[in-house]
């Protein structure tokens, strides 16, 4: 009997130590799983950024090839005009006024060459600014599900697509509290770019609207959702209303055909479009 008592006393610390070690092991295992999931998410984000960067590089290379072709044409014309002018002057075939006209033509070619180089510099600068803006937006928003928000550059324009599942309840146009947090992060980045102008577009699927009797159809709903977002950006986050506009596209600009629940969900979205500053390019044209 005494032996059993002594054995029980001896084994008790071993059992307790084993339980504590198992709990610590499970806690560390869960922590490892969470860190591994975060790492996988970050790897996915990095790959998406690299893919987008590669696509932009491809477009830029195509544009550069086109500019190189124009530069070759300009060089060819310069050489031919110079030779023709010298030959004609040597042979005394043309008058001084005709020679002056040809000279002016050559000067115009030089001006066009300078103009192409200026455009090339402006486009490179704009591409750099757009990529910086996209990276700042993605960094501010963080690891939000890509199904709920998508930021991309297409043909030199920055688009921010936010799903209506995140922004609004079904058939409503009041912005949810969760969405206000996301809009606040977007507003922080846009506020640091005071020259940027943007449009907020509302989009719906093709299911007829039967909610609020004050709204007639999907046109009305898409407009109300766009203006709701604009008011949040203005009233809660201080963005300049003169730099914003709101538009409703209804069901008429879908991302994909409305032939499945998944496609309809993708089409129900609000899009923030960073508008290109065309007035700067028009001024550039006027100077030339």
Q: Average pLDDT in the 39-68 region?
A: 79
Confidence of residue 220 (pLDDT cuts 50, 70, 90): very high
Q: How far is CA 154 from CA 134, 148, 160, 273, in A?
A: 12, 19, 11, 11
Question: Would you state the pLDDT for residue 277?
Answer: 67
Confidence of residue 89 (pLDDT cuts 50, 70, 90): low
Question: Residue 14: pLDDT above 70?
Answer: no
Question: Residue 15: pLDDT above 60?
Answer: no
Mean pLDDT of the chain, nearest integer: 78
Confidence of residue 269 (pLDDT cuts 50, 70, 90): very high
Confidence of residue 270 (pLDDT cuts 50, 70, 90): very high
Question: Would you state the pLDDT for residue 242?
Answer: 93
Question: Would you state the pLDDT for residue 61?
Answer: 81
Q: Average pLDDT in the 254-268 region?
A: 93
d(CA 254, CA 168): 18
Question: Would you state the pLDDT for residue 71?
Answer: 84
Neighbours of 43 (CB within 10 A): 10
| Percent of the chain at pLDDT exceeding 90 | 27
- The more confidently predicted of residues 196 and 205 is 205
Are the C-beta atoms of residues 189 and 136 closer than 8 Å to each other?
yes
- The more confidently predicted of residues 252 and 189 is 252
| Window from 3-17, 107-121, 223-237 with minimum mean pLDDT | 3-17
Handedness of CA 88, 89, 92, 98 (dihedral sign): positive
Neighbours of 221 (CB within 10 A): 25
Question: Would you state the pLDDT for residue 123?
Answer: 61
Question: Would you state the pLDDT for residue 199?
Answer: 94
């Amino acid at each position: 009997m005494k032996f059993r008592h002594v054995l029980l006393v001896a084994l008790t610390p071993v059992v307790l130590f084993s339980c504590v070690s198992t709990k610590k092991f499970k806690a560390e295992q869960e922590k490892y799983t969470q860190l591994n999931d975060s790492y996988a998410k970050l790897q996915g984000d990095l790959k998406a950024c690299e893919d987008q960067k590669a696509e932009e590089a491809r477009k830029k290379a195509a544009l550069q090839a086109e500019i190189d072709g124009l530069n070759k044409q300009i060089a060819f014309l310069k050489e031919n005009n110079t030779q023709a002018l010298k030959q004609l002057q040597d042979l005394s075939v043309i008058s001084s006024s005709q020679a002056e006209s040809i000279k002016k033509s050559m000067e115009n070619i030089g001006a066009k060459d300078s103009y192409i180089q200026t455009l090339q510099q402006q486009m490179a600068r704009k591409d750099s600014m757009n990529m910086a803006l996209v990276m700042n937006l993605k960094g501010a928003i963080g690891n939000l599900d890509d199904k709920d928000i998508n930021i991309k550059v297409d043909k030199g324009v920055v688009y921010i697509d936010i799903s209506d599942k995140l922004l609004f309840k079904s058939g409503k146009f009041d912005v949810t509290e969760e969405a206000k947090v996301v809009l606040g992060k977007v507003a922080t980045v846009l506020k640091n770019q005071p020259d940027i102008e943007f449009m907020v577009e509302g989009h719906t699927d093709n299911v007829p609207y039967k909610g609020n009797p004050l709204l007639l159809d999907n046109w009305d709903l898409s407009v109300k959702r766009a203006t709701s977002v604009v008011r949040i950006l203005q009233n809660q986050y201080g963005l300049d209303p003169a730099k914003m506009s709101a538009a409703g596209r209804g069901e008429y600009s879908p991302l994909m055909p409305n032939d499945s629940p998944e496609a309809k969900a993708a089409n129900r979205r609000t899009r923030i479009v960073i508008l290109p500053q065309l007035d700067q390019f028009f001024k550039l044209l006027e100077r030339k």
